[in-house]
Amino acid sequence: MKSFIELDDLAGDRLEAVLARARELETRRVTDDLRGRTVALLFMNPSLRTLASMQAGVAQLGGNSFVVTAGQGSWQIETRDGAVMDGDAAEHVREAIPVLASYGDALAVRCFARGRDLAEDLADGTIRTMASLSPVPFINLESAAAHPCQALGDWKTLDDVGVPRRGGRFVLSWVYHPRPLPFAVAASALAMAARRGMDVTVLRPDGYSLPEPVMARAARWAERAGGSVRETADREDAMDGAHVVYAKSWAAPAFYGRPAEEAPVRAGLKGWCVSEAWFRPAAPGARFMHCLPVRRNVKVTDEILDGPRSVVVRQAGNRLHAQKALLVEMLGGVGR
């Protein structure tokens, strides 16, 4: 596997192998799998968990990493092909990617959605171009349309806390956020749950359906894995028997790239903040998941985050184990 752009890049058996290795690395934290290897980390957008867990993970595997943050101590980086670069960006990905790759044995990049054109962002062309420009193994640390390291850690988290694969009821719920957000985490969580064979419900207000390609891919996975995918605006119905609620906010597709037009609709949806009341129809001990960072008392109440339902810290912790397993899978055997 030369590039890890989305969870699909880990075909059936390899996904299970990576999950198995993640479990192993959780108990045996320090190894020398990456001894002498350098991992380049490029962040075009803010990060806490990814920034920290990639550095910690590479070091714990005996390797080295370095971080370049576009626009923060480094140049602003242009991603558009053919741009006449007479604005703020001094550097183009067509140079930055091969250069950074040349200093390392792998390159991992975060580059969020541009947020202007829905089809463009869903096609995830920027991260795919970056991967194609890298002569070394490439890892997506969240792109316009996918956050596969998160999905990997989330899969492990569901396993850890005993949420069933087949028959497990997974609710991906839209929640309020002051601004329209991209689809990357929602799309990856949805595909992950569907591939896991769960019965998946997307709970969202009217007008906030996930884009058709996102739903269609999840449906294909559900069919293959023996689960199901549906969507609804009815919370009671969605939560009925749910084992887990995965909260995430996203943009209204019809207003994509025009946040001012979406604002009045969005303003009426502040009630979409997960609270204990949501869990009344859920399965006993149902869990709350979120990729973090989370806006407390906006997307979810303190009560949930500080209570026994929340596995958000475990999800974040699993980022470390999952990414280390992925790095070993991608780099462990090369050139040793």
Interacting residues toward a copy of itself by CB under 8 A? 29-30, 36, 38, 40, 43, 46-49, 51-53, 55-57, 59-60, 64, 66-69, 72-75, 78, 81-86, 90-92, 94-96, 98-100, 102-104, 178, 292-298, 302, 305-306, 312-313, 316-317, 320
Shortest distance (Å) from residue 85 CB to a copy of itself = 4
Residue 151 phi/psi, 5-degree rounding, is -60, -40
Write down the least CB distance from residue 228 to a copy of itself, Å: 32
Contacts of 210 (CB under 8 A, 6+ apart): 183, 186, 187, 190, 202, 204, 231, 250, 253
Q: How far is CA 28 from the centre of its chain?
A: 25
Q: CB-wise, 32 or 234, nearer to a copy of itself?
A: 32
Hey, what are 111's tokens? 């580059």
For residue 213 the two structure tokens come to 């390609």
Residue 178 or 271: the one with the smaller Cβ distance to a copy of itself is: 178
Least distance between a copy of itself and beta carbon 191 (Å)? 24
Q: Are the CB atoms for 244 and 158 separated by under 8 Å?
A: yes
Q: How big is the CA angle at 219 (ends 218 and 220), to the nearest 5 degrees?
A: 90
Pairwise CA distance, residues 50 & 290, whole Å: 15
Q: Which residue number, 181 or 283, has a Cβ lying nearer to a copy of itself?
A: 181
Nearer to a copy of itself, 49 or 217 (CB): 49
Q: Which is nearer to a copy of itself, 90 or 119 (CB)?
A: 90
Nearer Cβ to a copy of itself, position 20 or 90?
Answer: 90
* 69 or 228: CB nearest a copy of itself: 69
For residue 40, give the 3-state DSSP assignment: strand
Q: Letter for the amino acid at 128?
A: R
Amino acid at 179: R
Q: Which residues 6+ apart lie within 8 Å of 201 measured at CB?
A: 169, 170, 171, 172, 229, 230, 231, 232, 237, 238, 242
Please name every residue paired with 68 in a beta bridge, in sequence order, or none if there are none: 42
CB of 37 to a copy of itself, least distance (A): 8
Alpha-helical (H) ranges within the chain are: 12-27, 49-60, 93-102, 118-123, 125-133, 148-160, 184-195, 212-225, 235-239, 259-267, 302-305, 312-331
- Name which of 216 and 263 has its Cβ closer to a copy of itself: 263
Report in angstroms how near the CB of residue 231 gets to a copy of itself at its nearest: 27
Q: Which is nearer to a copy of itself, 12 or 87 (CB)?
A: 87
CB of 90 to a copy of itself, least distance (A): 4
Rg (CA), the chain: 20
Minimum distance of a copy of itself from residue 43's CB (angstroms): 6
> In angstroms, what is the minimal distance from the CB of 230 to a copy of itself?
30
Min CB(316)–a copy of itself separation in Å: 4
Q: Is 166 exposed, middle or buried (0-12, 13-18, 19+ CB in 10 A)?
A: exposed
